[in-house]
Amino acid sequence: MEGEEEVLEPMSPSAQYLSSSALSLTILGVLETEDPINVDDNMSLVTDLFLPINPRFSSIMVTNKKGVRKWKRVEVNVEDHLIVPTFPSEMSVDYYDECFNDYMSKIAMEQLPNHRPLWEIHILRYPTKNAAGNYIFKLHHSLGDGYSLMGALLSCLQRVDDPSVPLTFPSRQSRTGPGTRKVWLRRIPRFFTGLGHTAYDFGWSLFKSTLMKDDKSPIRSGMDGVEFRPIVMTTTTFSIAQLGQIKTKLNVTINDVITGIIALGSRMYMQKGDEESCKSKTTALVLLNTRATRGYKSVDEMIKPNSDMPWGNQFTFLHVPLPKLTQSELLNPLDFVKKAHRVIKRQRNSAAVYLTGQLLSFIQMVRGHEAAGRHIHATLKNTSLAISNMIGPVEQISFANQPCKGLYFIFTGSPQSVTITVISYVGKLRIIVTTEKGFIDQNKMKSCIEHAFEVIYNAALEV
């Protein structure tokens, strides 16, 4: 027993409730290659490069007699985790595109086996509309959040132009106003305003997580078991330079711009499906990394004791109500960005985010990780969509000496009919729309988001 205990490591509270019976979230990260994939090169790559990144990739979850979960190191048979599907040869790109989408839906619905480490790498060697080949990294969310797993992935990647030079990322410089020097004069009234905002935001967030559901609409079926249904996905790209123009014109953040575009696009889609739903109660759950960082740390730095950017799940969520789509809003599309900015800024500056995290810790401590998992499940289910975004490299990257044409991620297991993920890469912003198959027309949803970008961009240029 003593020797066994030495190989066990505690699981964080977040890792436990993200792998509960009520909630099991999985991240699918996709690397699109410019050239056909040579599978023979990948076995040693996984063994020598991927596995040593973090002990979690060589561990399974075990539960002791008291119900406490821990990580246990095990021997890894890489062949069990490296999967190369076979499709009919010499078919059209359209055919392989459909195969890729069906395959993504298939593995998204499948649970990772608990008897081995919670990750898989799927290699699709067939050309699609977007790439000559695709690597799909399937990782359970209990291993880490997007920041941790992106940091792990980046440790396997190199710059195409110069592998010896580190990757760089888009600037996250904060906005400053003309009254910066006199901020201290406003601290006292802001303190009391912050208390009011904290009470309101935390109370409303708790209410949304427990009692108040969004209305059923063309983007929210509200059915039980949505997380177990097939998915379909589609992607679109926007120019980061153009998004930056909107950001500068409105003096907001890129996050505000993205949220505003998605909110307007969602309302436009809803209007096409049901005119009355434009005024329905609809909320987006915006997922945020709580680390105060402007870029990624190396995995070695993240796993150090008392790291200021620790490995794991360090995220929270904000409830952002979607403005109703009235004729006035259509004439003033920038209101969607401005309203997103006000809500996100207020919530980020209140202590509600901190209190939400403390509430989850309290639920975990008093009622266990299953209860905490049920609380997050209800939080997701009661809203209409989730938005998660990541920053990616400015330079083109290569994996296994193969240049990557694109990269993106989705997360599955959420009880919502639509989730939207966003990532930047080489001057472009990729938006991925993942929807409940048969309920939402993903291509129409994508075109509505594209149209929302156009009208917001054109309106911003006129400011």
Encode the chain (463 residues) as per-residue pLDDT tens digits: 344 444 677 777 777 777 888 888 899 999 999 999 887 767 777 787 778 877 888 999 888 777 778 889 999 998 899 999 999 999 999 999 999 999 999 999 999 998 999 999 999 999 999 999 999 999 988 887 666 777 777 777 888 998 888 888 776 544 444 444 444 445 455 555 667 667 777 777 787 778 889 999 999 998 999 999 999 999 999 999 999 999 999 999 998 999 999 999 999 999 988 888 888 899 999 887 654 455 555 445 545 555 555 444 455 778 888 988 877 777 789 999 999 998 888 877 777 777 777 787 788 788 888 888 898 899 999 999 999 988 888 899 998 788 999 999 998 999 999 999 999 999 999 999 999 999 999 999 999 999 999 999 999 998 7
| Vertex 287: Cα angle to 372 and 455 (nearest 5) | 150
d(CA 449, CA 224): 27
The verdict on pTM exceeding 0.75 is: yes
* Cβ 154 vs Cβ 168: under 8 Å: no
> In terms of DSSP H, where are the helices of 110-229?
146-154, 187-210
Please report, as a single letter, which amino acid is at residue 19.
S
H or E stretch covering 238: strand 231-239
Q: Tell the residue number behind the tokens 């499940």, with chain if given.
A: 377
Q: Tell the residue number behind the tokens 């240049």, with chain if given.
A: 403
d(CA 203, CA 206): 5
Give me the phi and psi of 7, to 5 degrees please: -95, 5
